[in-house]
Chain A
Amino acid sequence: MPMTLKDEGPKVRVLFTGAVTFAENNEFRNLLKELRRRELSSCLFDLSELEMIDSAGLGMFLIAKEQADASGWKLSVEGATGHVQDMLKLTKLLELINQ
């Protein structure tokens, strides 16, 4: 998946590349653990280089949203294109996550 974290103080930016699927489950959980460690005010998931997402991947974003709400930081998802954008539109999850 490689997810690269860019620190901008309390604002963090995560760049996703490749795919977010069931196979990337562990990596995603580690990312969430890492985010939990920090004192975040907001986190941006940059999906501009993400090519593929499956139902498990969408599930992981929902878990991230839950963690954001619980820990009091703002999650925003941006830059989705192609197939990933289609999936987010079909499931109306973009609005839900960015609320």
Chain B
Amino acid sequence: MKLGLQPKSVIAEELAESLHSARILVVDDLSVMCKMIGLTLKKGGYTNVSFAYDGNEALEAIAVDMPDLVILDINMPRLNGYEVCRKLRSQPETAHLPILVQSAAETDAERVKVFEAGGTDFVSKPINLPEMLARVSMHLGNKFLIKSLSSFRERLQSELRLARDMQVELLPATNDIWRIQKKYSVTIDSFYRASSELGGDLWGFVEVSDTQLGVYLIDVVGHGVAAALNTFRVQALMTRLKALASDPSAFMTALNSALVDIFPTGQYATMFYGVLDTDADTLTWCGGAAPRPYLMTPGDSQQIQTIDTRGVPIGISRKPGYANLVTPFVKNQLLFAYSDVLLETPDIVGEILGEEGLRQLVQQVNSRAKCGQVLQETLRSFFEKTKSDLKDDLTAVSIFRSSEGIAFPALPDLENEQILIVSDGAMICSALTALKDDAFDAIHASDMDDVGRYLTDDSLVLSTVIFDLSVSGDHLDRWIKFILGHAHLALLPIVAVRDMSDSMNLGHLYNSGVTKVVEVNVKIAGLRRVLKTFARDHKLMINLKRDVEWRATGSQQISEGEFRFQSRAEAYDLARKLGTVTSDPVRVAIGLTELLVNAIEHGCFQIGASEKSRLIDQDRLDEELNVRHMRPEFRDRFATVKYTRGYDFIEFIITDPGEGFDYENQQSAFQNSSAAASGRGLMMADQLFTSLAYSGKGNIVIARIAFDGIQIT
């Protein structure tokens, strides 16, 4: 057995040392046998031998001090050798303990009996002492080598993880991406998943000028440590070539020259480098055999444009002949680039997408895409079809030139939103007809059986539930519990309509999970505004959930750290990204969204509870947030979330620059009035996290998720 780490002689030495200090337990009811075996072992160099004279003694001795090997007699009174064997094999600690059974074992049936009981090997009876020594030596030797190999493997695994973490560090950071989005009025979506081995993918941005944004995707061929090391080299070389970044062919020519000398023959990298010019509305690029990116207008059924990347990969030729190509890249267009794993991973029936397959998929996704969710929908589809492990790193990047500034996450369109109204009152019946418009469709449930039916109908996608308290007051708690208890309903906004004269306590309503209470004589227009806000929020959360689900199964993308965020858009993005690194991504992403958005609304923009309620009534919350974001006194305010991992917990500490509140003097932090308007949201966060606590002046929230010792990868 070669370990390939140390020369054979060193291993032999180490082996010899550990063999002779090995603990051997000899079990025999005849003391003369014990003496004989003991003496032979001593002569063989084994100094650490102990004895037991019956089965029970043996088990006790093993429990107290685990031996490395046991020599066990079969025929013993009270507890015989077979029973001892079976007992030892049934316990995890001794399941693999080498047990040499002394047995006459003259017949096959007897031999089988020994192996079935769990014996590792025989020592024949009458005892042949040199043979026994040889077997002891062999079994101890195996044990040592296996242990050595296991710890070598463990060390290698942790070094690989470290190397992969270092590779992830090379990719653009979340804060940089947000900054670039603002600077160039683009919406960027990206996805990176490392393969099970180390890979050679590298991608990033170059801020060439205030109006020029460069993006590159590089795939160094090969796997393992060599490919990974090469990505570091390439990255280092590129930082030195910044001056050429406005000219893709010059940039790639220079990079290529440096690599040709470094890479051995046969080693190369495919590359795409493009520069978006926001003034000229063009994309200038150069290709080195990278997979072909696509340029498209989301929502348009026109043919998507394939970007020509024919060219010699970098690192091969001294005269690659790179030349720039130009094409219009205007507002509302999206560029989608990716690594070839997308083309080459087989699906469940063994077929690969291939270039034509991917082009068709992207074409389809694009024609349906709202607000540029091309990357998201393409990859979701890809992951649904391919259940196998990725053979290589998967990189995908999309750059969407949004015409209205930052659109992430895009406010969803409302169409045919189903509102369930639970009432038998006259007022509500007229509301039913009044509510119906392009955005809404109302469904009426007048008795409690109906409610159950609608809530459990899989074909119905509800947007909000409205309970008329005069009808359903007594049942409200029960229905709320039902809704909150079902994963696919838990995010559903709940509106309670009450009579002004109703004595039902507002605080109690909010604490039980109602999202909003409206008065019975509310104008329809007002109700509709409230419903619009909720419907959009609900859709956002559903999208977040779907997004997190497909992004999450894989290796982490963010290690511990502290992140700053300044807007709701950034809060959503961060909640999604942080959610994906835990082993309960949807739960964390949704819980964090509530906490992070709260930090922005209350802490950064100082929108108090009653003000928020009023803004929701007027459906002006988003507008107000955008306006405040631009005011000088709010522009530079930011909140932070600190993320730390322990062995069996994850912790998020969210700090906002607000005034906080007197949390110590509340019965429960979540019953205070400033939380009331966000009551439902914070209540959900409370349920989703193992513990939630306030600190500081009430502007610091500590959210923890504890695991039962399961390690998060």
| A interface residue numbers (CB < 8 A to B) | 55-56, 59-60, 62-63, 66, 86, 89-93, 96
Complex Cα spacing A96 to B221, Å: 19
- B346 contacts A by Cβ under 8 Å: no
Complex Cα spacing A96 to B222, Å: 21
Smallest Cβ-Cβ distance to B267: which chain A residue: A59
Give, as a whole number of angstroms, the nearest-CB distance from B197 to chain A: 12
Please determine whether B289 and A90 come into contact, CB atoms closer than 8 angstroms. yes
Please determine whether B289 and A63 come into contact, CB atoms closer than 8 angstroms. no
Q: Which residues on A sit within 8 Å (CB–CB) of B268?
A: 55, 59, 62
Residue in B265, B309, B310 whose CB lies within 8 Å of A62: B265
Please determine whether A59 and B266 come into contact, CB atoms closer than 8 angstroms. yes
State the majority secondary structure of interface residues on B. loop
Please determine whether A90 and B309 come into contact, CB atoms closer than 8 angstroms. yes
Please determine whether A96 and B265 come into contact, CB atoms closer than 8 angstroms. no
Please determine whether B266 and A60 come into contact, CB atoms closer than 8 angstroms. yes
Known: A55-B221, A56-B221, A59-B221. A91 touches B266 (CB 8 A): no
**What are 22 A-B pairs with beta-carbon distances under 8 A?**
A55-B221, A55-B270, A56-B221, A56-B222, A59-B221, A59-B266, A59-B267, A60-B266, A62-B265, A62-B268, A62-B316, A63-B265, A63-B266, A66-B265, A89-B310, A90-B289, A90-B310, A91-B270, A91-B289, A92-B311, A93-B316, A96-B316
Number of interface residues of B (CB under 8 A): 16
Give, as a whole number of angstroms, the nearest-CB distance from B222 to chain A: 7
- B317 contacts A by Cβ under 8 Å: yes
Among B267, B316, B317, the one with the most A-chain Cβ atoms within 10 Å of its Cβ is B316
Q: Which residues on A sit within 8 Å (CB–CB) of B316?
A: 62, 93, 96
Q: Which residues on A sit within 8 Å (CB–CB) of B313?
A: 91
Residue in A56, A59, A91 whose CB lies within 8 Å of B312: A91
Complex Cα spacing A60 to B221, Å: 12
Q: Which residues on B sit within 8 Å (CB–CB) of A92?
A: 289, 310-312
Complex Cα spacing A56 to B267, Å: 8
Q: Which residues on B sit within 8 Å (CB–CB) of A56?
A: 221-222
Complex Cα spacing A93 to B222, Å: 18
Give, as a whole number of angstroms, the nearest-CB distance from A36 to chain B: 15
Complex Cα spacing A98 to B266, Å: 16
Give, as a whole number of angstroms, the nearest-CB distance from A89 to chain B: 7
Complex Cα spacing A56 to B391, Å: 14
Residue in B267, B309, B310, B317 whose CB lies within 8 Å of A96: B317
B 14-28 binary contact with A (CB < 8 Å = 1; else 0)? 000000000000000
Complex Cα spacing A90 to B317, Å: 15
Q: Which residues on B sit within 8 Å (CB–CB) of A89?
A: 310
Known: A55-B221, A59-B221. A93 touches B265 (CB 8 A): no
Q: 6 nearest interchain CB pairs? A: A59-B266, A55-B221, A91-B289, A66-B265, A63-B266, A90-B289
Complex Cα spacing A89 to B355, Å: 14
Complex Cα spacing A25 to B311, Å: 25
Complex Cα spacing A59 to B316, Å: 9
Smallest Cβ-Cβ distance to B312: which chain A residue: A92
Q: Which residues on A sit within 8 Å (CB–CB) of B310?
A: 89-92
Smallest Cβ-Cβ distance to A65: which chain B residue: B265
Q: Which residues on B sit within 8 Å (CB–CB) of A90?
A: 289, 309-310
Give, as a whole number of angstroms, the nearest-CB distance from B291 to chain A: 9
Q: Which residues on A sit within 8 Å (CB–CB) of B270?
A: 55, 91
Give, as a whole number of angstroms, the nearest-CB distance from B268 to chain A: 7
Smallest Cβ-Cβ distance to B355: which chain A residue: A86
Known: A55-B221, A56-B222, A92-B289. A62 touches B266 (CB 8 A): yes
Smallest Cβ-Cβ distance to A93: which chain B residue: B312
